[in-house]
Amino acid sequence: MSIQKSHKRIDRLPIHRTDVKQRVLDPMKQPIPRLYVAGEISSIYGHLYLEAGNITECFAAGKIAGQNAAAEQPWN
C-alpha cells in the first residue's frame, strides 16, 4: 500500500455574511445571537486566501468582534 501525495487544496469554507459588528447573519440577514466571526474567514475574500494574506483584516475584525462579544449581557 502506498500513500500518494496530493497538491490539491481543499477550500470548503462556508461563505457567510456579517454585519459591521462582525456578527454572523442568517439567510434572512438577521444577526445570529452571540455568534461573531473574525479573521480571514470573515472576509468577503476569505475564499481566495488562507495563508494570512491579510493579517491586518484579521486584527481589525478580531478587535471589533471581541469588543462586541464582550459587551454582550450575561445569560440568566
Domain contains 32 = yes
Domain contains 2 = no
Structural domains of the chain, count? 1
Over its length of 76 residues, how does the chain's per-residue pLDDT go in tens digits?
555 554 444 444 456 788 999 998 998 999 999 999 887 655 555 555 555 566 777 788 889 999 999 999 988 7
Domain contains 75 = no
Task: Report the candidate in 40, 47, 37 with the shortest Cα–Cα distance to residue 15.
Answer: 47
How much is the pTM?
0.63
Domain contains 28 = yes
Distances (CA, A) of 54 to 5, 12, 15: 28, 19, 17
What is the rounded distance in angstroms from the CA atom of residue 22 to the CA atom of residue 40?
12
Which residues, listed in sequence order, are joined to residue 25 by a DSSP beta bridge?
Answer: 31
Place of cell 462579544: 69
What is the rounded distance in angstroms from the CA atom of residue 20 to the CA atom of residue 64?
8
